[in-house]
Amino acid sequence: MNIRSLLVAAAAFVAVSAQATVVAQWDYNRGSTKHSFSQNGASFATLGGVTTAFVSQTGSSDPNAGQALNTTTYGSATTGNMTRGVQFGIDTTGYEHLVLTFDQRNSSTASAWTALLYTVDGDNWTQATSFRMATDGSFVKGLTYDFSSVTGAANNESFAIRLVSMFAPGLSSYVGTGGNYASGGTIRYDMVTLSGTEIVASAVPEPASIALMLAGLGLVGVTARRRRSAA
């Protein structure tokens, strides 16, 4: 096999190994707050007294048109900023380039703003971003955050995320999705999915392999020069 063929084969291998796969997913069609699918292990919890129920969903990106998770009991308008919501623990061991996607549907009196928090040690939480929800009461599909550049998110058994209601920017209170806020407002989640690419150890050559490859390339160069000299 010549050098060009080797490079083509190596490129093909890297392309295959870099394909994204689902690390964990909650579609709620099994009627459980536990993960519906996980490569390594996952957990779910509610925060700040939030209560949950499973409801039939329409309009999310779930191809099976099953259930969604309905959350409510978010507390008074001026307390609990970014402390009430849901938490997803996801063991990302063996995966990198992580991307979160989910669908969310707010009632008109639910908090218009949702914050995405994450932890890499299980104790300290950092705000990644925030989302402003639609006012028409329909699912917002494919809300996304890319954790690829977050140090410690990949290959980590302690990685977790939170989706929590937050005060409106610049205010010390919640603002309702449709205007007025109420603690009985509801937020629904569906197709909560963390995807990533598998870390393939063999994709990185060992030092001995690199040395052999360089030696082989050197030998090829010497042979080529001798052939040109002979000609």
**Residue range 82-105, pLDDT digits in tens:** 999 999 999 999 999 999 999 999
Tell me: do 54 and 112 sit in the same domain: yes
With pLDDT > 90 as the criterion, what percentage of the chain qualifies? 68
Over 80: is that where the pLDDT of 161 sits? Answer: yes
Over 70: is that where the pLDDT of 5 sits? Answer: no
DSSP code string of 165-225: E-PPTTSSS--BTTBS--TT--EEEEEEEEEEEE--GGGS--HHHHHHHHHHHHHHHHHHH
pLDDT value of residue 53: 94
Q: Give the integer Cα–Cα distance in Å for 175 and 182.
A: 9
Q: Are strands 67-72 and 51-56 parallel, antiparallel or unpaired?
A: antiparallel
pLDDT value of residue 65: 73
Which of 86, 113, 112 is closest to 190 using CA atoms? Answer: 86
203: Cβ contacts below 8 Å, ≥ 6 apart: 13, 14, 17
Tell me: do 76 and 186 sit in the same domain: yes
How many residues does this entry show for the chain?
A: 231
- Per-residue model confidence as pLDDT tens digits over 33-66: 678 899 999 999 999 999 999 998 888 999 887 8
Average pLDDT of the segment spanning 147-169: 98
Q: Is residue 8 part of a domain?
A: no
Compute the mean pLDDT over every residue in the chain, rounded to the nearest whole number.
85
Tell me: do 227 and 126 sit in the same domain: no
Tell me: do 28 and 87 sit in the same domain: yes
Tell me: do 133 and 57 sit in the same domain: yes
Q: Which domain holds residue 149?
A: 19-199
Over 60: is that where the pLDDT of 131 sits? Answer: yes
φ/ψ (deg, to 5) at 12: -65, -40
- Three-state secondary structure call for residue 210: helix
Q: Is residue 28 part of a domain?
A: yes
pLDDT value of residue 201: 77
pLDDT value of residue 185: 97
C-beta separation of 147 from 98 below 8 A: yes
Query: pLDDT tier at 30 (50, 70, 90 boundaries)?
Result: confident
Q: Is residue 183 part of a domain?
A: yes
Beta strands in the chain (DSSP E): 20-26, 37-38, 42-47, 51-56, 67-72, 85-90, 95-106, 113-119, 126-132, 140-146, 160-165, 187-198
Over 60: is that where the pLDDT of 227 sits? Answer: no
Over 70: is that where the pLDDT of 21 sits? Answer: yes
Over 50: is that where the pLDDT of 13 sits? Answer: no
pLDDT value of residue 213: 54
What is the number of alpha carbons within 13 Å of residue 107 lying toward its C-beta?
15
